[in-house]
Structure 1
Amino acid sequence: MASLAPERDGDHAGQALNKPNSSETQPLLGPSSSTASHHSGESATKQLTARHAFAVLVTLQIGSGIFASPSQVDSNVPSPGAALVVWVLGGLLSWAGAASFAELGAAIPLNGGMQAYLAYVYGDTMAFLMAWIYIMAAKPSAMAIQSIVIAESIGSISSSPTAAWVLKLIAALTFVATVLVNSINTKVTLRLSESFTGIKLMTVFLVVIGGLVAVIAHLVNPNSSLSGGEDWYSKNWFTTRSTSYEGHTIDWTSMSTWDRYGHYSAAIYGGLWAYDGWDNANVVASEIRHPGQALPKAIKAAMVVVLGSYELVNLAYYILLPWSTVSSSDAVAVVALGSAFGRWAGILVSILVAVSCAGSITSNVFIVGRLTVAASEREYLPAILGERGLPWRQTQAPIQSEDPGIITQANGIAVQNQDKLSHFDAPLYANLLALLLTLVYIQTGSFRTLLTFAGMAMWLFYVSTVFGLLILRRREPELHRPYKPAVILPTIFVVVGTLLVFRSAIFAPIQAGILACLLIIGTLISKLRTR
């Protein structure tokens, strides 16, 4: 079964275990947990060192978001210098979240990420709500964002503006093709996801090198055509200027503090979208040797590298482009290298960005499909959504064997195990549901509106999970915690995260209203199911 780390940009898979002896706190994913002795027995098989954990955390965080989020950040702050500060704040907030999740992963023998911890602390309803929101909102909107970025990257190659309906069509067709590929076989999905990681890292490297080349070219010859835009060396980086957001110009000089708070919240969501993947620290914590000593080193080193990389990439954008154009495209990496080094550089980067986003979609399709299957198996969703493979390829035979490769069904027939039955073992109906929902988000939303919506949906549960950590510190002070960061880190995370969700809900009432309706519906379904 899949874990619930939202990608973005980075995703992983694993089984969720239940809190022992509590039928009311079963996470949606996976069978019941064994006892603490089992947990201690697993420690002997832990494979990750601090170096391995560092590599995992860096790889999971650096994803497709850094190629698109800068436009969301830039349009919601008054200056390029303020944008760089927002990226630092987003990195520090993610750092606090990673440390908090790592404490949960090291202290509690649950292996299912946020959902398992929510079930442990709050009970079954909260765990179901997270699965429900991720299936219906967070993951489909995330995949819609990535599809839109692919369309924007392809459209930015053209010398003339591409019509909005054409970009929507490209995004929809791209997503349909990606889902079809990922509905063939689980192994195909996993291999595709692994192969895209190197492409993401290479694209980040090329953007940073492009900015460095522009700086060197300007120092050698101030009139060089390779020195990027002129703003980076002719203007003050912290001087307030007007920006454009959702088709209208923002005048920062006459804006109230409350409105500035709303725009900064939207900007931070853009940065946090790119950092997403830090919540996988809980998985690292459950697999690392000597977590009390190795885990702090791995988290600190990984966050420093990721934060530094993102600062360098954004510096490169502001060097390569006129500042007025950074917020005008959701494919800023393509525009930046294309304008500085020519059309062929833009085409190359557009291909790399599109492939990187396709890799992110692949991870999300895998996760949301398995999550939907798990929800179906617990009868939270219709049973048909839990079926795997192609029904007409299944072969049936009378029960004649007790071989563990045979699954006995209530109707008195046996169906061979999926790995022996068919190469088509993907959850097709679950993927179909994700396909339909994502297409709706693609057609009805824009990059910025979807980014705010997805941010609210995910951070609602991030904050709830870390607040659960504070509850556990008070409720179970005797719980063994191999890694325990200072209480200031989870406290800051909860306070700042709550303020972000609260202000964003007011700043974007439509997205907040949709999310509230989904939460109400999910609560009713959970309560009816319990009764």
Structure 2
Amino acid sequence: MIGSGIFVSPGNVLKQTGSVALSVLVWAGCGVISVAGALCYIELGTLLPASGGETVYIKAGLGDFLSFIFSWMRSLVIQPSSNAIISLAFAEYSLAMIPDFVDLCEDYTYLVKRFIAIFTLLLVTGINIFSVKAAARMQNIFTLAKLAAMAVIIVGGIVNLAQGKVGALNTGFQQQDGIDRLTAASVALAFYSGLWSFDGWNQLNYCTEELKDPTKNLPRAIIIGIPLVSILYILVNISYLTVLEPIVIAESSTVGVEWSKIMLGPVDWLMPVAVALSTFGALNGCIFTAARQCLAAARIGFLPGFLSFVSVDRLTPFPALVFNVTLASVMLFIGEIGRLIDFFSFTAWIFYGLAMLSLIVMRWTKKDVPRPFKVWIWIPALVFLVSCYFVVAPVIDDPAVEYLYVLGFMLVGAAVYPIFVKRKLQCCEKSGPGCITIILQKLLKVAPETESQHID
């Protein structure tokens, strides 16, 4: 769960809420919603103990069509936009290390950020293609950097509070000058940014089959982990507020850098370095899982079969990795981090809501199936209603072109489903691999996975 979000989202949460106290309440609310959603996913994961997450749950509760639409949107929108956000966050914090260079190329900052982000996407993808084990070893370093950065910020906040330095905390619900006024859409957008930092609360459900005793360990991991992360995030935000003016936080996408300039003095460069390492590690993990989700969708016919091929030499999902990095690179040009987070969250919460609806439906359609863990029915109902609010409020109150992109992708998926999925009309089934597929196989040295092969 802890990745780039807590270092880039606080500004947009404060900007959309307009007051310090409400922004802290939104962070607490994000924790509550994540816990509630995760509790529902415990029931889903123990009721249907198969890896695949929402693909499995929506299929069981609402049918093949909506399950396909989720897999389609996850592969084409959700994962690529997530990777784009993290790579752009890496670019933001990397540039923060060299402020003189930023001043020098001020007129080209937009393109420089995209260049760094695309280079980072290619670098991490290359690592995953050629040496997955090396990427896994490096992940330990990135995890330490991430936790160290958070620890420094939290300790700094505690020291400030002990010295009576409350900063902007004493402004409470007072509306801040220069920050947008509160609306129904702005509250939803504030939660988008906050919940982006919590995203990952459902990831264990993608590997339920690999968990030891999931009926015990899945609830433990969620019930212990998410409240702990919630507390850490609130403490980090309080620390920011003891040092920085609300308007500075609201206008910054590198809040950690602004905080370190005041608190760390001559060693303020440590914070952008630590956060850059953190985001690099988060991107590495996301690219790893995105490629394998794409490969799994291709295996069952939800995406072109070529994406399920693996490298002959290294047994890594080469085509899926290239596919994901291409889409993520395109996503970088939709907008800045805030708009990308809105794009991602709007799409994701459509399907989180459908997962909640699936759980409610299966209380009747699978009422006789044993449930090792069972939540109160009002919890999935509440999360479903919240997801409806998150999706509907921004569209009604503050419509944006990104929402039309999401609708367009879904309509294309709806058109693809009856031809290429339901009727099983993949061209390779009639005449074998096509000419383009054969050329790509030779060019990339990839082939369909056989029973004797295992993906690294």
Shorter-chain-normalised TM-score: which range? 0.7 to 0.9
Of 398, 419, 429, 1:528 maps to: 419
In the other structure, the counterpart of 1:101 is 41
In the other structure, the counterpart of 2:410 is 519
For residue 322 of structure 1, report the CA deviation from its aligned partner: 1.8
2:84 maps to 1:84: no
For residue 343 of structure 1, report the CA deviation from its aligned partner: 4.6
Identify if the C-alpha distance between structure 1 residues 290 and 186 changes in structure 2 by more than 3 Å, giving closer, same or farther. closer
Which AA in structure 1 matches 2:44? L
2:242 maps to 1:319: yes
CA-based RMSD: 2.3
Which AA in structure 2 matches 1:125? F
For residue 264 of structure 1, report the CA deviation from its aligned partner: 0.6
Which AA in structure 1 matches 2:256? A
Q: Deviations over 1:396-447 (max 9, x none)?
A: xxxxxxxxxxxxxxxxxxxxxx5xxx2x332222222212211111123211
CA distance in 1, matches of 2:123, 2:214: 44
CA distance in 1, matches of 2:310, 2:408: 30
Instruction: Determine which structure has more spread, i.e. the larger CA radius of gyration.
Output: 1
User: How many residues get paired?
Assistant: 414
Identify if the C-alpha distance between structure 1 residues 282 and 440 changes in structure 2 by more than 3 Å, giving closer, same or farther. closer
For residue 353 of structure 1, report the CA deviation from its aligned partner: 0.9
Which AA in structure 2 matches 1:384? F
In the other structure, the counterpart of 2:232 is 309
The question of whether the paired residues in 2 share the 8 Å contact of 1:103 and 1:282 is answered with: no
The question of whether the paired residues in 2 share the 8 Å contact of 1:321 and 1:340 is answered with: no
Which AA in structure 2 matches 1:242? D
Of 311, 314, 332, 2:255 maps to: 332
The question of whether the paired residues in 2 share the 8 Å contact of 1:453 and 1:512 is answered with: yes
2:362 maps to 1:476: no
In the other structure, the counterpart of 2:303 is 381
The question of whether the paired residues in 2 share the 8 Å contact of 1:185 and 1:425 is answered with: no
2:283 maps to 1:361: yes
- Identity rate, percent: 26
- Structure 2: 5+ residue stretches without partners: 424-456
Q: Deviations over 1:348-371 (max 9, x none)?
A: 111111111111111121122122
The question of whether the paired residues in 1 share the 8 Å contact of 2:291 and 2:324 is answered with: yes
- Structure 1: 5+ residue stretches without partners: 1-60, 220-226, 245-249, 390-417
The question of whether the paired residues in 2 share the 8 Å contact of 1:76 and 1:243 is answered with: no
CA distance in 2, matches of 1:186, 1:508: 41
In the other structure, the counterpart of 2:329 is 439
Of 180, 194, 206, 1:271 maps to: 194
2:75 maps to 1:185: no
Which is worse superposed, 189-198 or 201-210?
A: 189-198
Secondary structure of 1:443's match? Answer: coil
2:101 maps to 1:210: no
CA distance in 2, matches of 1:285, 1:441: 30
In the other structure, the counterpart of 2:168 is 232
Which AA in structure 2 matches 1:172? I
Identify if the C-alpha distance between structure 1 residues 381 and 69 changes in structure 2 by more than 3 Å, giving closer, same or farther. same
Q: Deviations over 1:146-183 (max 9, x none)?
A: 11111111222316655222222222222222222222
TM-score, normalised with respect to structure 1: 0.73
In the other structure, the counterpart of 1:291 is 215
For residue 111 of structure 1, report the CA deviation from its aligned partner: 2.3
Secondary structure of 2:275's match? Answer: helix
The question of whether the paired residues in 1 share the 8 Å contact of 2:20 and 2:168 is answered with: no
Secondary structure of 2:332's match? Answer: helix
Of 426, 443, 463, 2:316 maps to: 426
Select the structure that is richer in helix. 2
Which AA in structure 2 matches 1:164? Y
The question of whether the paired residues in 2 share the 8 Å contact of 1:186 and 1:425 is answered with: no
Secondary structure of 1:483's match? Answer: coil
The question of whether the paired residues in 2 share the 8 Å contact of 1:184 and 1:425 is answered with: no
Which is worse superposed, 177-186 or 520-529?
A: 177-186
For residue 188 of structure 1, report the CA deviation from its aligned partner: 3.2
In the other structure, the counterpart of 1:451 is 341
